[in-house]
Amino acid sequence: MTTPLSERRRTQYIEVHGRVQGVGFRPFVHRTATALGLDGWVCNVNGHVELTVTGRPDALRELVARLRDQPPPLAAVRRVEVTDVTDAPGAPPARAGFTVVASQADPSTAPREIPPDAAICDACLAELFDPGDRRYRYPFVNCTDCGPRATVIEDLPYDRERTTMRRFPLCPDCAAEYADPADRRFHAEPLACPVCGPRLAWDELTGEDALRAAVRVVDGGGIVAVKGLGGYQLVCDATDAEAVARLRRRKRRPAKPFAVMVGDLVAVRRLARTGRTEEAVLGSPQRPVVLLPARRRGERLAPAVHPGTGRLGLFLPTTGLHHLLLRELARPLVVTSGNLADEPLATDDAAARRSLGAVADGFLTHDRPIRARYDDSVVQVACGTVRVLRRARGYAPAPLALPVAAPVPLVGAGAQLKHTFTLAEAGRAHLGPHTGDLADAATYDAFAASYAELTRLTGVAPRVVAHDRHPGYLSTQWARGERRFERCIAVQHHHAHVAAVAAEHAVTVPFTGVACDGLGLGDDGTLWGGEVLVADLAGYRRVGRFARAPLPGGEAAVRHPWRMALGYLHGLEPLGGPRPGPALVRLFTDRLDAREARFVRAMVERGVNCPPASSAGRLFDAAASLLGLGDTVSYEGQAAVALEGAAGPLRPGALPWRLARAADGLWVYDPAPTLTALLEGVAAGVPVPRLAAAFHTAVAEATAALVARAVADGAPTTVCLGGGCFQNLRLLGELTGLLRARGMRVLTGRAVPVNDGGISYGQTAVAAAVLEGEG
């Protein structure tokens, strides 16, 4: 009797590419294939998964559909390739039953994906607090759906022997779980338990004794350095004003807000206002810090936790250890990066004790090494969408798409502040973890080490480097000084900002870019930062800008916004608009040191060390200083954050503004009427919140008018908003609304930060388009 064609068994060789290692993919394949009655095998090969399966054609089709459409929660399938086994002579034949076979090394240079770390899952959390479970109160509990990944991987393919967990041989119970296809810890590479896994330590104390010692210190108002997933964290009681003040002094972080960790969403709601989107991302496997509007009458935190801003950075526990600390202390905790200001996150135990010994009152550590440094990610929700401000633990280094494939391997060298680098090959870009300010020597070394590690793991060997045009950036000097690169491509800072937005949204046609930012070197030798560009990924032309004002003392004007205010009052580009009269200027200068004010005015009038800048960020600094919200800052953007916080929910009309034609022929936003009205309001006793809100509206209206002028002259109606100023939710929301009301499509960063953390991704997108255009 002849078997019907529909029932004849066939054999197929399948490759699955994407984020498919370290996410429970092989166990998922095993369960699915077994349920469908298929025979064969599955294994990891470098950064992808391969399987050979035999069975009925309908079962094979169903398997492929589930691989594509129903992968495990942490997986991201990008491509499934199916070949009849007769056409794939290199594939071993299928076997009876279905098995997971040993991983294989593939000599190919195809780029590989590194899975990000994932927060503890609900199933593991239940075990953590179940007295009857063998992992009861074990801080390192994990399974195939959660736990460390990028921070422990030493090489690919992803197997335990190529992670830092190789130092911990499995006990019989764990080995049985690891080998059981029906167990959720089947091939969970970071698998551990109290018998065979890492252990907590506090000096000579271990385990529960170590945990209790740390709890006593925090409970008594002390500061503890805790070894986390991707680096050390500094922890103290967020309700203890003296403890928070002490942490600020020791960490040398006088004003930048601290993140606060709480145990659950109920605790979040007591401290901040949330919505469904915010709560979903708080509980996501990425567990980022989420910036939320603080409740004025919520649970009391120490005032120094988030000074000068109405927003609070909150996040939920990432690991079992965090849950244990919060369960024991039963209060919100400051959990901040384990470093001194501007230094990289500490990861090595001995180095952590050296750098944090004068900060922490004790160290809660463990014996699992941290292979790669990953700080906490930071996000906010704007216009109903989650937008990443710092792409780190939980998100990095998962790849992003490039709309124009890189014809050769590339690296974007990034900027100077909020530094990241991006590796790109073909249509994928690996945006590396947040590094920080490269001016710090240790941070620069951390960048170099991270670059070497990620190129090795991903297999991306860049031949071309894209870098910022500013010759003083250390990232630019690194790019130009590395002889390994065949070519350097300079990318203007603000073109990279708007190109990053366009590339993330797969925009390859011309668009209108609006860059509201701090400072970046422009084509004309001046500093830019408030620009309207008509652009595509390969190039741009400038069609509008903010008026120029001098920066008295250069970088000193960034650190001291009162200098920036004097730059606008005494040296603003002449565009014919009304200027503040002497009486209004004195209203401001009378509260300054008279000698310093005269010195800075003389610098401006003589043009000595006063580089001109068309910067939106510096305009916000000046306005904050004029309103008395910040004459000196300790971190970038502090004055602008205070200005946004002061505005609150008020919605007054805009302060006056005007557009004018500049000598270079561009339409320019002239802020002279805006600043004059600001000072007049101060003189008249108008409340600062009302003036701050009206200033935001003026800037939004003036920027929208610049874009409308450009569109009237033929610019595209797709508008990409990039630059650090668009972290300001009020500016972003008002400008987006105004542009959409004019019928424009408005885009801004989501997975890619709009600040300088997204510059490197924009650089690679530009370089790929330039190279593709050269053919």
Known catalytic residues? 26, 44
What residues have CB less than 8 Å from 541, skipping those under 6 apart? 533, 534, 535
Give the per-residue pLDDT at 94: 60
State the average pLDDT over residues 133-146: 96
CA–CA distance from 114 to each of 158, 449, 560 (Å)?
9, 16, 42
Give the C-alpha separation, 54 to 34, whole Å.
11
Query: Is the pLDDT at 511 greater than 60, yes or no?
Result: yes
Nearest Cα to Cα of residue 565 among 675, 657, 726:
675
Tokens at 726, concatenated: 């668009």
Topology at the third CATH level for domain 5-100? Alpha-Beta Plaits (3.30.70)
State the average pLDDT over residues 67-73: 91
What residues have CB less than 8 Å from 283, skipping those under 6 apart? 265, 316
Express each pLDDT in 44-55 by its tens digit: 887 789 999 999
Domain 200-366 has CATH 3.90.870.10: yes
Q: Are 362 and 213 in contact (CB under 8 A)?
A: yes
Q: How confident is the model at residue 483 (pLDDT cuts 50, 70, 90)?
A: confident
Round the average pLDDT of the chain to a whole number and report it: 93
Backbone angles phi, psi at 122, to 5 degrees: -65, -35
Which of 19-28, 63-72, 599-608, 671-680 has the weakest average pLDDT? 19-28
Amino acid letter at 391?
R
Nearest Cα to Cα of residue 156 among 111, 95, 125, 192:
111
Which of 154-158, 239-243, 247-251, 475-479 has the weakest average pLDDT? 154-158
Give the per-residue pLDDT at 422: 98
Give the per-residue pLDDT at 107: 55
List strand residue ranges (DSSP E) for 617-714, in order.
658-661, 667-670
Give the per-residue pLDDT at 762: 98
State the average pLDDT over residues 301-318: 94
Give the per-residue pLDDT at 716: 98
Express each pLDDT in 325-350 by its tens digit: 999 999 999 999 999 987 899 999 99
Nearest Cα to Cα of residue 415 among 363, 481, 344, 492:
492
Strand pairing partners for 76? 19
Tokens at 654, concatenated: 């805009």
Express each pLDDT in 547-599 by its tens digit: 999 999 999 999 999 999 999 999 999 998 788 999 999 999 999 999 999 99
DSSP secondary structure letter of residue 49 = E
Nearest Cα to Cα of residue 144 among 100, 105, 108:
100
DSSP secondary structure letter of residue 170 = P
Give the C-alpha separation, 284 to 377, whole Å.
12
Share of the chain above pLDDT 70, in %: 97
Q: Are 519 and 469 in contact (CB under 8 A)?
A: no
Query: Is the pLDDT at 628 greater than 80, yes or no?
Result: yes
Higher-confidence residue: 296 or 737? 737
Give the per-residue pLDDT at 46: 75
Q: Are 495 and 758 in contact (CB under 8 A)?
A: no
Every domain of the chain with CATH number 3.30.420.40 lies at 515-748
Topology at the third CATH level for domain 399-505+758-774? Nucleotidyltransferase; domain 5 (3.30.420)
State the average pLDDT over residues 300-309: 92
Query: Is the pLDDT at 705 greater than 70, yes or no?
Result: yes
Q: How confident is the model at residue 354 (pLDDT cuts 50, 70, 90)?
A: very high
Query: Is the pLDDT at 112 greater than 90, yes or no?
Result: no
What residues have CB less than 8 Å from 593, skipping those under 6 apart? none
Express each pLDDT in 512-545 by its tens digit: 999 999 999 999 999 999 999 999 999 999 999 9
Query: Is the pLDDT at 1 greater than 50, yes or no?
Result: no
Every domain of the chain with CATH number 3.30.420.360 lies at 399-505+758-774
Q: What is the 3-state secondary structure (H, E, C) of 454-506?
A: HHHHHCCCCCEEEEECCCCCHHHHHHHHCCCCCEEEEECHHHHHHHHHHHHCC
Give the C-alpha separation, 401 to 18, whole Å.
11
Every domain of the chain with CATH number 3.30.70.100 lies at 5-100
Share of the chain above pLDDT 90, in %: 86
What residues have CB less than 8 Å from 433, skipping those under 6 apart? 230, 372, 373, 374, 375, 391, 392, 393, 396, 397, 420, 450
Topology at the third CATH level for domain 515-748? Nucleotidyltransferase; domain 5 (3.30.420)
Express each pLDDT in 2-18 by its tens digit: 455 556 889 999 999 88
State the average pLDDT over residues 124-143: 98
State the average pLDDT over residues 141-148: 95
Q: What stretches of 315-440 show up as alpha helix (H) in DSSP?
A: 320-329, 349-356
DSSP secondary structure letter of residue 119 = P
Tokens at 272, concatenated: 């901040």
CA–CA distance from 387 to each of 498, 501, 529, 748 (Å)?
15, 12, 21, 9
Three-class DSSP category at 408 = strand
Distinct helix (H) and strand (E) counts, the chain: 23, 29
Alpha carbon 416 to chain centroid, angstroms? 15
